[in-house]
């Protein structure tokens, strides 16, 4: 970066500081202020690098992070619950490359998503992009291999050049865990299984309270049509409505009028529809659906009926499956282009009891305080402190009947119809689930083992390295999980301390006396009891001891 | 692509065709010809796309592939053996992002590797590249978190813009399984554990014959120095020697003279050193090392002694651990920059018994024949047919004591020394192991189950969808692995057929008679025996039946 660039940066940073000060004065949304500060700190970091005159900054790419051994243990335990659930429902697994031809991804993710795709540099050859989700690669896989029936899961990382908000678990690289059913089936049977899977994963992870919102593209289309939005505006309007969980209606309405070209009349009507649930707190989902179908204005729309019928059947199946807290929410509008039928989203409400978000939050508070100090802001951060941060959506999905067909050759209209592969699926946002479980472990002060070592081979005296190597080799060959010190002459105390730190349950100690007697000393780390074991009995004794641990 | 681009392409393709014809005439290496043809076909494909006038070509990016359910089962079984071995040795696991700041990767992969790094497009913000291996990100992780002691494994995909050779298992996206030990320890103890891990993985995967080659940077440096290569030529000479497993000495020698600036005198001497093993077939590794240290010329080099001593200790530890087929090979020179001590490579020799390589090979032969046809070559492919394709290196690694330090701030020379974190590790090329295991399964005609479903819930009559949903829900809640048809009224025969195809062992059949009697029919798919089970006994009966399967 040259001097001119540095100056530009400094000017930008100053402007950002001004904006933050204004927001503070106006008592704006604390979350917004936090985001602005984070953005400014990123800029400052860039500038800082320059001042350090080429000093190399050791960091991961923006919006990404490493997982250390403890995080990995938690993450693998969460992934296991998800994988086990998918397998319990008879799913196979597939894997696709991390990048796709750019053409495969183009036009699939709505107006917001499209901007967030990572492109690879053109180094000669094909134009490639990193996958944005696992659904489009799945559809490409089905179309390419002419598969019309499959129930598969896919657990892998996806990439979005979004503004990262680490405290909310929003990263640029994150795991998705997808389960999808492709095939021509009877209405709502595969949908019901997807919802059952959400229910099982969230129950088995013990995340506490959660609910699943349902809606249907046909209902949204009917609502929009009645409110005067043109058919081609559907995606644009959806993408505004989709922001309702983060923004108040007034802001969304503003966007609809100013950017999407709706009139105030349109939006007031639309506002009433999307708030239908809140306006009728005494009605259950079926009654709300009845209310919609009875509405003279809406029921004139031919699409509506299918949507209402689908949701009624689905709610009935959910009842048969014992899934609680599923409800129809007319304000649910997922931002992606490809949904054609039912859509759903599972939400874990912001939760004051959940210590993790306090922990994360306090970290973030300290970062923010620092930031505030750095830019000489005179306000205090008291209004942010202790405020719980919502976890939000942890799983979402829906029906997409035309995505696979969009990859097929449209040779003639009849053939096209035959080639369509109807799909429905669900995707878990594992990073948020991971944060919830991590918080629980911290709250319960549970000890997390990062290795599975059963036996540590230690020496009581010097010059026993070769004996230890031989003993370890023999135990590894027998399938035991074994470690030893890599030092030639480690102190016994250090070896035992290592076992206590790493929660290794057993130690085998060899010394000159033991070698002479043809025994090894077996020590139980927890009880600190020791016994001599004759070498011919060693394997058998170890197996029995480990089985009884 | 415009018309001018197409013309350029056509010219390039014509030139490539000419080159291939010349190579054929000169009876060049068949593998080389194959590669040239593959490259030309790629070009032709690009051109083809143009001719199809915007027709969308459905494919994965060059050098990548999807894994279907069957491949995934095989792959997961191979990965499990590797992971279990790493865990048996007490390793923790970490994960790092798929891309790194470009500066982190720069200058780490030698002259060949550096060209093969995938860069992300500059979309504003940081300059990023996809990881080329897991070692450099590991070193970055240690330096960034100031970790000086860890034994970790990392299983993840890496990316190289190499010329893909699918038939040899060389892809642009492939898994690496890395095990590394960081810390200041006594000589060769961690190295011995790395070799033991190679031995265990290859033994447990039952890949058949294999051997592990050893060498040492100090020995290579001494050899090069004696042969007149300057110290700063080390990397360049290594990268030529590294090609010896693919090219004959004459070609490597040619490269050393023409591109690396050695004289014919230099290379003849070097040729004798790298062929030391072949020239002394009666000597074992220790005797070869003795021969080297006794050589007047070599032993004048001060570096040599450390290398020879290290290898002798390591060979002794291997003996204690019972690792067979480890030997010193002075021609082993790994191409990467960061090795500082012992290096090793495990090789599965080309194997005529191994049917997979015949299978793969015959596929590739048909592709080549087609290619030959397409470009009107008049030769026949008889000289290629039936020739086994070697599997080559399946694991490799070595000691790299300075890589972590290279990420540390060189505040002063004393501090730098203190900050160095010595490391040694091994990386498995899982794609090749995967190919070997896949071939074994095909050869043994083993049936591979892609799901774990235990029970299929079927209906004997129409209108039992709700009953099936309820029963499935109950069984899922009890933790059984259960599937049912998504059709409202599936035929019993189709349901039973599905179970036989998918190797699902048990079917629960409900019908009007069963519902009336308060029973379900339990069918054993293999024996086709059926029994009525009373509903209150169902869970217990299923548990017992599944346990005894």
Suggest the residue from B486, B495, B542 to mutate for an interface test with chain A (most A CBs closer than 10 A): B486
Contact (Cβ atoms closer than 8 angstroms) between residue A469 and residue A213 = no
What topology is assigned to A3-47 in CATH? Helix Hairpins (1.10.287)
Most confident of the following: A182-191, A291-300, A442-451: A182-191
Which residues, 6 or more positions from A249, have their beta carbon under 8 angstroms from its beta carbon?
Answer: A271, A274, A275
User: For A398-434, how does the pLDDT look when each residue is reduced to its tens digit (9 = 90+)?
Assistant: 999 999 999 886 554 554 455 789 999 999 988 888 8
What phi and psi values does residue B455 have, to the nearest 5 degrees?
-135, 135
Closest CA to B338 of B402, B408, B425, B410: B402
pLDDT band for A51, please (50, 70, 90 cuts): very low
- Please determine, for residue B542, whether its predicted confidence score (pLDDT) is greater than 90: yes
Closest CA to B303 of B188, B224, B192: B224
Closest partner residue to B67 (CB to CB) among A67, A95, A322 is: A95
Suggest the residue from A52, A72, A85, A90 to mutate for an interface test with chain B (most B CBs closer than 10 A): A90
User: For A332-342, how does the pLDDT look when each residue is reduced to its tens digit (9 = 90+)?
Assistant: 987 667 899 99
Which residues, 6 or more positions from B544, have their beta carbon under 8 angstroms from its beta carbon?
Answer: none
CATH number of A455-548: 3.40.50.800
Which residues in A lie closer than 8 A to residue B128 (C-beta atoms)? Answer: 61
Which residues in B lie closer than 8 A to residue A315 (C-beta atoms)? Answer: none
Which residues in A lie closer than 8 A to residue B434 (C-beta atoms)? Answer: none
Test B92 with A72 for CB contact under 8 angstroms: yes
Test A95 with B66 for CB contact under 8 angstroms: yes
Closest CA to A307 of A281, A275, A333, A272: A333
User: For A387-402, how does the pLDDT look when each residue is reduced to its tens digit (9 = 90+)?
Assistant: 334 457 899 999 999 9
- Residue A353: per-residue pLDDT: 43
User: For A24-33, how does the pLDDT look when each residue is reduced to its tens digit (9 = 90+)?
Assistant: 777 788 888 8
Q: Does B153 appear as a known binding residue?
A: no
| Section A329-358 average pLDDT | 75
Test A66 with B157 for CB contact under 8 angstroms: no
Of A149-153, A370-374, A532-536, A540-544, the one with minimum mean pLDDT is A370-374
Closest partner residue to A93 (CB to CB) among B65, B72, B118 is: B72
User: For B23-80, how does the pLDDT look when each residue is reduced to its tens digit (9 = 90+)?
Assistant: 877 778 888 888 888 888 777 776 654 434 445 678 999 999 999 999 999 999 999 9
Test A94 with B101 for CB contact under 8 angstroms: no
- Please determine, for residue A383, whether its predicted confidence score (pLDDT) is greater than 50: no
Count CB atoms within 10 A of the CB of residue A439.
21
Q: Which residue of A has its CA nearest to B60?
A: A100
Test A141 with B66 for CB contact under 8 angstroms: yes
- Residue B47: per-residue pLDDT: 62
Q: What is the largest CA-CA distance in chain A?
A: 96
Cross-strand bridge partners of residue B519 = B534
Closest partner residue to A469 (CB to CB) among B64, B317, B502 is: B317
As a whole-number percent, the residues of chain A with pLDDT over 90 amount to 59
Contact (Cβ atoms closer than 8 angstroms) between residue B215 and residue B343 = yes
Closest partner residue to A189 (CB to CB) among B322, B481, B486 is: B486
User: For B259-283, how does the pLDDT look when each residue is reduced to its tens digit (9 = 90+)?
Assistant: 888 999 999 999 989 899 999 999 9
- Structural domain boundaries of chain B? 3-47, 61-210+387-409+419-448, 455-548
- Residue B524: per-residue pLDDT: 97
Test A120 with B123 for CB contact under 8 angstroms: no
- Please determine, for residue A366, whether its predicted confidence score (pLDDT) is greater than 80: no
* ipTM of the prediction: 0.82
In B9-113, where do the E strands start and end?
92-93, 99-101
Contact (Cβ atoms closer than 8 angstroms) between residue A210 and residue A394 = yes
Which residues in A lie closer than 8 A to residue B317 (C-beta atoms)? Answer: 469
Q: Tokens for B330, please give them.
A: 């002075």
- Residue A4: per-residue pLDDT: 54
Q: Does B339 appear as a known binding residue?
A: yes
- Please determine, for residue A473, whether its predicted confidence score (pLDDT) is greater than 90: yes
- Residue A360: per-residue pLDDT: 35
As a whole-number percent, the residues of chain B with pLDDT over 70 amount to 85
**In what helix (H) or strand (E) does residue B303 lie, and over which residues does it extend?**
helix B302-320
Most confident of the following: A291-300, A352-361, B105-114, B532-541: B532-541
The span from the CA of B358 to the CA of A33, in Å, is: 64
Q: Which has more pLDDT, B349 or B401?
A: B401
Which residues in A lie closer than 8 A to residue B140 (C-beta atoms)? Answer: 58
Cross-strand bridge partners of residue A92 = A152
From residue B69, how far is each of A141, A248, B171, B379, B448 by CA, in Å? 12, 45, 19, 40, 10
CA-based nearest distance A96→chain B, Å: 4
Do the strands B482-484 and B173-182 form a parallel or antiparallel pair, or are they unpaired? unpaired
Q: Which residue of B has its CA nearest to A42?
A: B125
Q: Does B134 appear as a known binding residue?
A: yes
Q: Tokens for A415, please give them.
A: 């053939």
Q: Which residue of B has its CA nearest to A191?
A: B486
Suggest the residue from A39, A49, A52, A56 to mutate for an interface test with chain B (most B CBs closer than 10 A): A56
- Please determine, for residue A175, whether its predicted confidence score (pLDDT) is greater than 90: yes
Test B451 with A87 for CB contact under 8 angstroms: yes
Secondary structure of A63-116 in HEC code, one letter for each residue:
CCCCECHHHHHHHHHHHHHHHHHHHHCCCEECECCCEEEHHHHCCCCHHHHHCC
Suggest the residue from B99, B139, B188, B191 to mutate for an interface test with chain A (most A CBs closer than 10 A): B99
- Please determine, for residue B117, whether its predicted confidence score (pLDDT) is greater than 60: yes
Q: Does A486 appear as a known binding residue?
A: no
Q: Does B133 appear as a known binding residue?
A: yes
pLDDT band for B521, please (50, 70, 90 cuts): very high
Suggest the residue from B476, B484, B491 to mutate for an interface test with chain A (most A CBs closer than 10 A): B476
User: For B335-359, how does the pLDDT look when each residue is reduced to its tens digit (9 = 90+)?
Assistant: 667 899 999 999 988 643 443 333 3
Q: Does A245 appear as a known binding residue?
A: no
- Please determine, for residue A249, whether its predicted confidence score (pLDDT) is greater than 80: yes
Q: Does A172 appear as a known binding residue?
A: no
Test A469 with B161 for CB contact under 8 angstroms: no
Contact (Cβ atoms closer than 8 angstroms) between residue A436 and residue A348 = yes
- Residue A414: per-residue pLDDT: 52
Test B470 with A321 for CB contact under 8 angstroms: yes
CA-based nearest distance A271→chain B, Å: 37
From residue A396, how far is each of B165, B235, B329, B377 by CA, in Å? 39, 52, 56, 55
Test B100 with A59 for CB contact under 8 angstroms: no
| Section B390-401 average pLDDT | 86
- Residue A363: per-residue pLDDT: 32
How does the average pLDDT of chain A come out, rounded? 85
- Please determine, for residue B414, whether its predicted confidence score (pLDDT) is greater than 60: no
Of B92-96, B301-305, B495-499, the one with minimum mean pLDDT is B301-305
User: pTM (2 decimals)?
Assistant: 0.83
CA-based nearest distance B333→chain A, Å: 26
Closest partner residue to B97 (CB to CB) among A56, A64, A181 is: A64
Closest partner residue to B473 (CB to CB) among A101, A183, A322 is: A322
- Residue A246: per-residue pLDDT: 80
Closest CA to A104 of B491, B96, B60, B518: B60
Burial class of residue A536, CB neighbours in 10 A (0-12, 13-18, 19+): exposed
Binning chain B into helix, strand and coil, the percentages to the nearest 5 are: 50, 15, 35
Which residues in B lie closer than 8 A to residue A61 (C-beta atoms)? Answer: 97, 99-101, 126, 128
Of A290-294, A296-300, B222-226, the one with minimum mean pLDDT is A296-300
Q: Does B186 appear as a known binding residue?
A: no
A146: left (phi over 0), alpha (psi -120 to 50) or beta: left
pLDDT band for B436, please (50, 70, 90 cuts): confident
**What is the spatial order of strands in the sheet that B455-459 belongs to?**
B482-484, B455-459, B506-510, B519-524, B530-534
Q: Does B180 appear as a known binding residue?
A: yes
Which of these CATH numbers, 3.40.50.300, 3.30.930.10, 3.30.470.10, 3.40.50.2000, describes B61-210+387-409+419-448?
3.30.930.10
User: For B162-176, how does the pLDDT look when each residue is reduced to its tens digit (9 = 90+)?
Assistant: 888 776 667 999 999
Of A74-78, B191-195, B383-387, the one with minimum mean pLDDT is B383-387
Test A486 with B93 for CB contact under 8 angstroms: no
Q: Which has more pLDDT, A202 or B429?
A: A202
């Amino acid at each position: 970066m040259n001097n001119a660039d540095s100056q530009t940066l400094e000017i930008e940073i100053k402007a950002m500081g001004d904006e933050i000060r204004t927001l503070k004065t106006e008592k704006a949304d604390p979350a917004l202020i936090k985001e602005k500060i984070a953005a400014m700190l990123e800029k400052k970091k860039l500038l800082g690098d320059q001042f350090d005159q080429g000093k190399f900054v050791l960091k991961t790419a923006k919006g990404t992070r490493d997982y250390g051994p403890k995080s990995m243990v938690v993450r693998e335990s969460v992934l296991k619950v998800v994988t086990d659930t998918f397998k319990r429902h008879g799913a196979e697994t597939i894997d696709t490359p991390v990048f796709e031809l750019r053409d495969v991804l183009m036009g699939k993710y709505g107006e917001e998503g499209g901007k967030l795709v990572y492109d690879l540099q053109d180094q000669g050859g094909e134009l490639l992009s990193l996958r944005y989700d696992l659904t489009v690669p799945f559809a490409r896989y089905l179309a390419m291999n002419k598969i019309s029936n499959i129930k598969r899961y896919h657990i892998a990382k996806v990439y979005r050049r979004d503004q990262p908000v680490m405290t909310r678990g929003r990263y640029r690289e994150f795991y998705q865990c997808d389960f999808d059913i492709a095939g021509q089936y009877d209405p709502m049977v595969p949908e019901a299984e997807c919802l059952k899977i959400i229910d099982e994963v969230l129950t088995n992870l013990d995340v506490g309270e959660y609910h699943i919102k349902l809606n249907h593209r046909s209902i949204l289309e009917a609502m929009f049509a009645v409110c005067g939005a043109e058919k081609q505006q559907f995606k644009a309007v959806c993408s505004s409505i989709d922001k309702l969980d983060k923004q108040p209606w007034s802001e969304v309405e503003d966007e609809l009028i100013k950017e999407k070209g709706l009139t105030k009349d349109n939006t007031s009507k639309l506002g009433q529809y999307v708030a239908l649930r809140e306006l009728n707190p005494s009605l259950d989902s079926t009654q709300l659906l009845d209310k919609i179908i009875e509405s003279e204005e809406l029921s004139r729309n031919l699409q509506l009926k299918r949507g209402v019928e689908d949701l009624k059947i689905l709610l009935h199946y959910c009842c048969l499956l014992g899934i609680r807290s599923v409800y129809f929410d007319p304000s649910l509008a997922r931002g992606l282009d490809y949904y054609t039928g039912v859509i759903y989203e599972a939400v874990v409400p912001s939760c004051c009891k959940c210590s993790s978000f306090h922990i994360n939050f306090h970290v973030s508070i300290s970062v923010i305080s620092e930031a505030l100090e750095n830019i000489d802001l005179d306000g205090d951060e008291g209004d942010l402190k202790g405020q719980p941060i919502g976890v939000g959506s942890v799983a979402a999905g829906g029906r997409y009947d035309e995505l696979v067909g969009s990859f097929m050759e449209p040779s003639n209209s009849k053939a096209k119809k035959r080639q369509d592969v109807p799909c429905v699926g669900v995707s878990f946002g594992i990073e948020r689930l991971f944060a919830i479980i991590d918080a629980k472990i911290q709250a319960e002060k549970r000890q997390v083992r990062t290795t599975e070592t059963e036996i540590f081979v230690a020496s009581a005296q010097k010059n026993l390295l070769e004996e230890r190597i031989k003993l370890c080799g023999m135990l590894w060959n027998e399938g035991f999980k074994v470690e030893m010190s890599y030092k030639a002459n480690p102190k016994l105390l250090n070896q035992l301390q290592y076992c206590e730190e790493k929660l290794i349950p057993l130690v085998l100690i060899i010394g000159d006396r033991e070698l002479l007697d043809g025994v090894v000393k077996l020590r139980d780390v927890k009880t600190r009891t020791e016994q001599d074991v004759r070498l011919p009995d060693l394997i058998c004794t170890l197996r029995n001891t480990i089985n009884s641990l």
